Structure 1
């Protein structure tokens, strides 16, 4: 029987991939190091596939078509950022099974074999996956263009993903790529809601996720937390709720960088003893 063997979330800011003036490299290095720690969890859990829940930043989608949830089912996950191309093998069997299984469970999934992926995937490919030969399954969630889906719908999708995985043979790690507070392309860019970030992380460390899932898309947008919709899919996919561990939080002047891992149920039980 298949299972979700790892659950983790981490920032995917462009500044982690390229050099930009005015950035604090000490803070950026702390975020990079924490993402690399997530790679160590892949070494410990040895998954057969890595499901990466990310977002599109208009690399593929536009106002011509804005799907809410899209699975990538092509043979390789490809794209480029900052002139640097990337290409990773896709676990097409799992990706196709997820499309079929989620539609059977009432989710009108979109899928693509040609999506151009951006830094939401380039960042975890470089710092989390590294040179590990683990096939990936990219899942894109619309987090920017209204109307947005709700946190509860994202959690429900995650639960359905876990059901599909349980009916197969693969051990699957799940990574939510994105967050935390930031306002790209707006006058509020230098004014992230760091206090709201810390409230979110406090709830995660306490295993108290309902206050987060009760937020509306409008509330998330107001505090620059739209990318947490990807995290909410993870909340459902990891099964029984348990406290998360914050590996790093960096209040970059324009972006809250968070990296979090949830221990497996066995590890959580041992830690509680």
Structure 2
């Protein structure tokens, strides 16, 4: 039994509106290095914690957590599209174990995922289907949001199950860090947008998909010109969060409210709960040591962009 962890920010704007060449190469280089580490580890199973951006989960049914026993990626923002290699029996067993452990996670036999899931598979592994992967969705944009404590307990439950498999397990957390792209809020959205958030956005037309892409690109360009056009990035919060992951003191987040995080770091910062769940899962294997920490503000991608790797000391 062994375990390896990689957490990585994702961005739909890669290739659409990039930072200066030295910064872009810095990010691409760190992703290649992580990809090499994963290839050397050669996982038998990947557990991927990730959010969604109103592309697969909507207000008609919005679980806090969902475990996919089958999944397909839609290819938004030119990310990889196609079927994920989800091991049905293992994923079903994982879901049952998590529920029996007191975490009310939903299941999906055909989870629709977007760039939040496809990005790490593309840039850390190179394909959607190279390794068996269990996708674990964490609601990060649709109020009411799960708390940090519940995300931690979800991760611990998944980790206990993963440790029991005896397999080489790769844990991935995708998302964050501080950012607030132009994702609509239901309470203030016009009627047509509410219809999309209620489920009409599940099958967007090519024209509507392109319009959504272009709006995000435009927001990135505007943010570079005026850092007040969107919620500011917060490197102090981001690095404090990374410190807690590295020192395994993240239970402090149990006392942090969702509203406070939205106020200080942006509404989409809740994607860091995917990182928290991944590290909590790693803790189920025993004490760990982190490495390869990276952080940079990248306004072109509307993100505090980070990466962090870790291994169990007993692995």
TM-score by length of 1: 0.87
Match of 1:228 in 2: 272
Pairing 1:80–2:75 present: yes
- Between 1:247-256 and 1:199-208, the stretch displaced more is 199-208
- Between 1:160-169 and 1:240-249, the stretch displaced more is 240-249
Structure with the higher helix share, 1 or 2:
2
What's the secondary structure of 1:70's corresponding residue? strand
Pairing 1:172–2:213 present: no
Match of 1:128 in 2: 124
* 8 Å CA contact 1:77, 1:89 repeated in 2: no
- Between 1:194-203 and 1:150-159, the stretch displaced more is 194-203
- Between 1:109-118 and 1:195-204, the stretch displaced more is 195-204
Match of 1:147 in 2: 144
Pairing 1:196–2:268 present: no
* 8 Å CA contact 2:65, 2:136 repeated in 1: yes
Pairing 1:108–2:149 present: no
Tell me: CA distance 1:109–1:207, structure 2 relative to 1, closer, same or farther (3 Å). Answer: closer
| CA apart distance, 1:266 | 4.3
Match of 2:307 in 1: 259
* 8 Å CA contact 2:49, 2:172 repeated in 1: yes
What's the secondary structure of 2:24's corresponding residue? helix
Structure 1 Cα separation of the partners of residues 121 and 313 of structure 2: 26
| CA apart distance, 1:234 | 1.2
What's the secondary structure of 1:61's corresponding residue? coil
Structure 2 Cα separation of the partners of residues 170 and 205 of structure 1: 24
| CA apart distance, 1:199 | 2.1
What's the secondary structure of 2:156's corresponding residue? helix
What's the secondary structure of 2:111's corresponding residue? coil
Equivalent of residue 65 in structure 2, options 69, 74, 81 = 69
Structure 1 Cα separation of the partners of residues 150 and 2 of structure 2: 19
* Unpaired runs of at least 5, structure 2: 184-227
Match of 1:15 in 2: 13
* 8 Å CA contact 2:48, 2:174 repeated in 1: yes
Match of 1:271 in 2: none
* 8 Å CA contact 2:177, 2:272 repeated in 1: yes
| CA apart distance, 1:243 | 4.5
Structure 1 Cα separation of the partners of residues 95 and 280 of structure 2: 17
* 8 Å CA contact 1:4, 1:174 repeated in 2: no
Match of 2:223 in 1: none
| CA apart distance, 1:47 | 1.4
How many aligned positions are there? 262
- Between 1:209-218 and 1:253-262, the stretch displaced more is 209-218
| CA apart distance, 1:246 | 4.0
* 8 Å CA contact 1:50, 1:135 repeated in 2: yes
Which has more radius of gyration?
A: 2
